Amino acid sequence: MPTPIVFSTPDEQRSWADDVRRQGSTIGFVPTMGALHRGHIALIDHAHSLADVVVVSVFVNPRQFNQRADFDAYPRPIDDDVQQCAAAGVAAVFAPTGAAMYPQGFETTVTAGPLASTMEGAHRDGHFDGVVTVLTKLFSILRPDLAVFGEKDFQQLAIVRRLVTDLDLDVEIVGAPTVREPDGLALSSRNRRLDATARAAARAVPRALDAAIAAARDGSVDDALRAACDVFDAAPQVHPDYVEIFDPNTLRPVPTLEGRRVPGTTRIATAAHVGDVRLIDNRDLFERA
Ligand code: PAF
């Protein structure tokens, strides 16, 4: 299990990636904020199936946090992350400091468009501007052939696809399915901040989506939303920010389910606070059983 090379500056990482490309190898990239879990390993495995060499970035990007406390509390187990990358066959880990990514004088940013105006974007001011800014920098440093993103962050995936199209970035964006615990909770780096009581309460998040999916089979948008909210109402420790049923292309809420009862046409997403931990999840409203 060879240890990946760990780079901490953009210049070192760029010149290594240039060498890899010169040798004729393709680069698959998995951008992360660290605290790696099985969900990230699934993204790395996916990247391995599509590219010769896999690079993982580990950078808790300050520009995508709209609350300082959330940024400070974000877990940073870098040694464990590097070990997991080694076990997963990652060739290089890019783990820059904040100052290396945003040195004194940094002032140019990328702005996400209307896709960022709903759901996460509506609740986390500037979040997606921070995401597209850091990704533009990471893509420019690594120039990967492809980058793999989890569908758990469905809105992020849509915005990143828009980013590479709009700015003509030469990288293929690949989406990979959400990995879940046996009780349905989507894997997230934030889950490790849940104590036992909060972890039990967090089951309400996937259950709310289950309830909405069941209600949507014969019911309306309102029926599905009400079913999800009933689950949250029965879980006093869990406070939803939103539950939204939306078109997966525009990310806009859909007024009716008529003509939509087909997989891939309609999605449901939620974000909820469990104690001081904010969790997100989403599913296809008409996924195949
Ligand atoms: O999904 C994440 O972990 C982050 O938003 C990303 C894509 C690594 C950008 O910082």
pLDDT value at 286 more than 90: yes
58-76 tens-digit pLDDT: 999 999 998 999 999 999 9
Are the beta carbons of 176 and 43 closer than 8 angstroms? yes
Is the pTM for the entire model greater than 0.85? yes
Active-site annotation holds for 239: no
Are the beta carbons of 58 and 95 closer than 8 angstroms? yes
pLDDT at 148: 98
Pairing, β 267-274 against β 238-246? antiparallel
pLDDT at 133: 98
Structural domains of the chain, with CATH: 5-176 (3.40.50.620), 189-284 (3.30.1300.10)
CA separation (Å) from 266 to 115, 185, 194, 222, 274? Answer: 16, 21, 30, 14, 26
What confidence category does residue 93 fall into, taking pLDDT thresholds of 50, 70 and 90?
Answer: very high
Find all residues with CB under 8 Å of 165, minimum gap 6, and list them: none
Whose CA is closest to atom 8 on ligand 1? 32
Find all residues with CB under 8 Å of 68, minimum gap 6, and list them: none
Whose CA is closest to atom 5 on ligand 1? 131
pLDDT at 289: 76
End-to-end CA distance of the chain: 38
Q: What is the distance of C-alpha 30 from the center of its chain?
A: 11
Span 278-288, mean pLDDT?
A: 97
pLDDT value at 187 more than 80: yes
**Ligand 1 neighbours by CB, cut-off 6 Å:** 31-33, 61, 64, 131, 134-135, 153, 156
As a whole number of angstroms, the distance between CA 215 and CA 223 comes to: 6
